[in-house]
Amino acid sequence: MKEVHAPRTFELVRDSDRALVFHFLDEIGFALKDGQNVKIKFDRTVELHPCGTLVFMARLDCWMLKYPGRLFCNYPKDEVVEQLFQHVGLLARFGLEPRREISNERVAFWHFHSGSKADPSAFLDMTLAAVKEIDHPNAMLFADCLNEAICNTVGHAYKQSKEVDVPLGFRKWWIFSQFRDERFFVAIYDVGDGIPRTLRRKPEWIEFLRARQYNDAKIIRSAIESNRTSTRQPERGKGLPEMLEFSKSLKAGGLSILSAKGGFEYAADTSTMRNRKFSLPLGGTLVQWAIPFRKEHGHGNDELLNS
């Protein structure tokens, strides 16, 4: 059995941490493909960010479907990391019994969901509760934006994916959400072709991109700021632009999109946009959205799952 050590930090925004997470994921994937059983060692892990943790859990879902009974892990040494993994059902996936009380406040408020269909009813209670608290001049638009973002992962993310690249059983969405006194946070991930690759194939984008030497970050930003849609209908295919427009009226929080070697960030407290370039590509698309409630006094758009 091959032992693979998980990184200290599950995070994708800093290139150094991103490289360690991807090396960890690749090491597991290559070993499984080679016919080996794998035991994941969480002895070193102390920081869990939504971005890196969600990508790991999505990859784990795919591995367990493709290589049943060949993945194992130990209990994390860090107590809060163990609480989080227990809380979101990760340890149970490996057959490990729960042994911690979920006592850490941040851990208790995180929720994990995954699925292959867009089902707004799964988030109805959370959405209705959030709308009542959101500090925004048109808070009711929040429900439409969130629903459209989830629908996009089902209706658009895998539309051009080939069976050899993304088997039908892997065509899902994965979500971390947090609903607390001060704000709502959601991270949504899919393992589809990703924004840059998808747009380079679309007829309505081919000529636009052919005339410009755009890297992945610029393509993502153009997609978010553009009125082009895959359906050519103004009300469809615009989940990310709608999320950005909604975020522009927030006092804090913001929006972050990662795909391939690019990223885009909007910080509501300073009303600034930023492109991000990375050395290693992220498969699929990861969206993180932070929305303050009326009691909010200013938080960044990233959050540790633990600590």
Token pair 């959030």 is found at 130
250 within 8 A of 135, measured Cβ to Cβ:
yes
Q: State the average pLDDT over residues 101-128.
A: 79
Taking the whole predicted model, whether its pTM rises above 0.85 is answered as yes
Q: What is the pLDDT of residue 235?
A: 38
pLDDT in tens, 77-105: 999 999 999 999 999 999 999 999 999 98
Beta strands in 81-166 (DSSP E): 110-115
- State both tokens at 151: 């629908």
pLDDT at 50 over 90: yes
Share of the chain above pLDDT 70, in %: 82
Q: What is the pLDDT of residue 151?
A: 72
Shared domain check, 246 and 175 = yes
Shared domain check, 146 and 205 = yes
What CATH number is given to the structural domain containing 236?
Answer: 3.30.565.10
Token pair 């971390």 is found at 176
Q: Tell me how many domains the chain contains.
A: 2
Shared domain check, 90 and 26 = yes
pLDDT at 237 over 50: no
Residue that wins the pLDDT comparison between 100 and 306? 100
CA atoms within 13 A on the CB side of 111: 12
Q: What is the pLDDT of residue 289?
A: 93
Token pair 């909007």 is found at 266
pLDDT in tens, 133-172: 888 888 878 878 887 777 766 656 666 656 545 566 677 8
Between the ranges 106-115, 133-142, 177-186, 220-229, where is the mean pLDDT highest? 106-115
Shared domain check, 93 and 238 = no
Shared domain check, 157 and 64 = no
* Mean pLDDT over each residue of the chain, to the nearest integer: 85
In 3D space, the residue among 208, 185, 188 whose CA is nearest the CA of residue 109 turns out to be 185
Instruction: Please name the residues in contact with 255: beta carbons below 8 A apart, sequence gap of 6 or more.
Output: 243, 244, 247, 264, 265, 266, 287, 288, 289, 290, 301
Shared domain check, 235 and 150 = yes
Cα gap 303→296, rounded to integer Å: 14
- State both tokens at 150: 């989830």
pLDDT in tens, 246-263: 999 999 999 999 999 999
Q: Which of 60, 75, 98 is the last residue of a domain?
A: 98
Shared domain check, 40 and 180 = no
Q: Which of 66, 98, 130 is the last residue of a domain?
A: 98
Residue that wins the pLDDT comparison between 96 and 242? 96
User: In what helix (H) or strand (E) does residue 143 lie, and over which residues does it extend?
Assistant: helix 141-155
Q: At what angle do helices 141-155 and 239-247 cross, to 10 degrees?
A: 150
Q: What is the pLDDT of residue 234?
A: 39
